[in-house]
Amino acid sequence: MKITKLDERVHVLDSNTDALSILQDIVESGVQEEAFYICDVGDIVRKHKIFKAAMPRVEPHYAVKCNDSHTVLETLAALGTGFDCASKTEINKVLTLGVNPSRIIFANPAKPMSHIRHAAATGVRLMTFDNESELFKIKDIFPDAKMVIRIRCDATIAQCQLGMKFGCDPVSEAPQLLDLARSLGIDVVGVSFHVGSGCGEPAVFRRAIAASRDIFDYAETLGFNFNLLDLGGGYPGGTGSSIDKIADIINRALEDYFPDPAVNVIAEPGRFYVASAYTLACNIHSIRTVNVSDPVTGNPNKHIMYYINDGVYGSFNCLLYDHQHVVPIPLKINAGAKYYRSSVWGPTCDGLDQVVENHMLPEMKIGDWLIFEDMGAYTLPVASPFNGFPIPKVHVVADQNIWMLLKDMFPLSENHFVIGNTKANLRVGLDTPDGWTMPSLPITIPICNGGKIIEEHILDYVQIGSLN
């Protein structure tokens, strides 16, 4: 397997290190200034075990749009999940890993023609629809497709609602769509739904599964032979969250409405798999102290504004697009530091670029680091280097057990891993205009470290700015 991105090699941690200690090592190298991520592959593997144990009948098809990094896709392909792709490019990304097209569902109910042709050419036959025009397109350009009707069933509480854009009404629209599919000779094989991303109302899954049963029954009267139920996404994935309640409701509803084991049940989890695997570290590069009058007493209160090197145009686009709420955690608390009301701002010149509005934080200095957990979902794929501030690099780590488990599981291989004591193995990467490069060592770092030559053995996986 070709490795295209060197900085995505998985670093195997020895027994006395973990993701947080690597993050600390990188910071303490003294030359790291850019924001960066640590991605713990073990966290993704654990999520997969949790999903399979909680819902043994459900085959997860990871939603690629949530985080399309090579490491994530390769790890999930190795673990044997399927994939939910929404475009030609996402399909290619997954196929390039060696995944069989039968493991892909093209789960976008409104597809451009060229993307449908591409699915046909590459053998991706399973796809969703929720409107008439999609059926006419399919009849024209991909009559062998296996179609899945997407119905609407919204959770009352969700981080991101999807129902206003996708899903036909199960009662007033689905039967007519199935009639039309029948008359066009199109093969419809099942039902899908998406209750909303970051679902906060587990009971919605029972409503959606019950509605799907009615559509299965109606389809049978038309002579269709439905065999697929697709539960979509919506499962929470942050640190400390649990899918137990949702899994209970799904398992029971499947027993009640779909007892026949011949019906294949799949889901399209995105956030669940990746949210907690990624931790972001940002550096404070500027500080402003202002007085803000207290809303109750009117007295002036000290308020500290911290400017960090990632913001809403970068990773924190999730605040705008994904309605996430992030919590800044100081990597270390300076001795005797007092706590003040504080805000955290991104690096661009846009007033909108605010990461945290109002949070009690111990007083920090320029050069100190703030950590943000649960940053793996709907962050990096959307980030832009607006205003010239780079998108943070990701350093991927795994402990030895995870390495032992994954190293022989296609498409992963021994080549994907860097083994041994991290400090001795890691290198400085130069962020040049052409991208990330690995210089030969030892190198001189004139800007950050006073021209001192840094020896290979004390180097960590750090990134320094371009030298010219």
Ligand X SMILES: *Cc1c(COP(=O)(O)O)cnc(C)c1O
* 17, 197, 342, 425: residue in contact with ligand X (rule CB under 6 A): 197
Among residues 167, 234, 347, 429, which is the contact residue for ligand X, using CB under 6 A?
234
CA neighbor of 77 nearest in space, from 409, 398, 416: 409
- The nearest distance, CB 261 to ligand X, in angstroms, is 24
The minimum distance between CB 404 and ligand X, in angstroms, equals 29
- Nearer to ligand X by C-beta: 160 or 287? 160
Q: Does 60 bind ligand X (CB under 6 A)?
A: no
CA angle, residues 454, 458, 461, in degrees to nearest 5:
95
Q: Is 58 in the site for ligand X (CB under 6 A)?
A: no
Torsion of CA 353, 359, 364, 365, to 10 degrees: 20
Is 349 one of the annotated active-site residues of the chain?
A: yes
Q: What letter would DSSP give residue 261? A: T
Tell me the CA distances in angstroms from 121 to 16, 62, 82, 99, 389, one per residue in order: 49, 22, 19, 15, 39
By CB under 6 A, name the one of 194, 207, 407, 416 that touches ligand X. Answer: 194
User: 91 with 66: CB under 8 angstroms?
Assistant: no
**CA-based angle 229:121:191, to the nearest 5?**
10
Annotated active-site residue in 85, 318, 349, 448:
349
- Least distance in angstroms from the C-beta of 58 to ligand X: 13
Q: Quick check: bond before 442 cis, omega within 30?
A: yes
Residue 272 C-beta: closest distance to ligand X, Å = 6
Select from 245, 331, 275, 325 the least CA-distant residue to 43.
275
Q: Which is nearer to ligand X, 136 or 321 (CB)?
A: 321
Sole window of 34-42, 264-272, 332-340, 349-357 interacting with ligand X (rule: CB under 6 A): 264-272
Q: Does 232 bind ligand X (CB under 6 A)?
A: yes
Choosing from 202, 270, 314, 346, the residue that interacts with ligand X (CB under 6 A) is: 270
Report the alpha-carbon distance of residue 329 to residue 362 in Å, rounded: 10
- Contact status: 271 vs ligand X (CB under 6 A): yes
Among 11, 47, 48, 65, binds ligand X (CB under 6 A): 65
Q: Are 269 and 63 in contact (CB under 8 A)?
A: yes
Place of tokens 């994904």: 322
Stretch that binds ligand X, among 20-28, 38-46, 266-274, 393-401 (CB under 6 A): 266-274
Site of interaction with ligand X (CB under 6 A):
63, 65-66, 84, 107, 194, 197, 232-235, 268-272
Catalytically annotated residues? 349
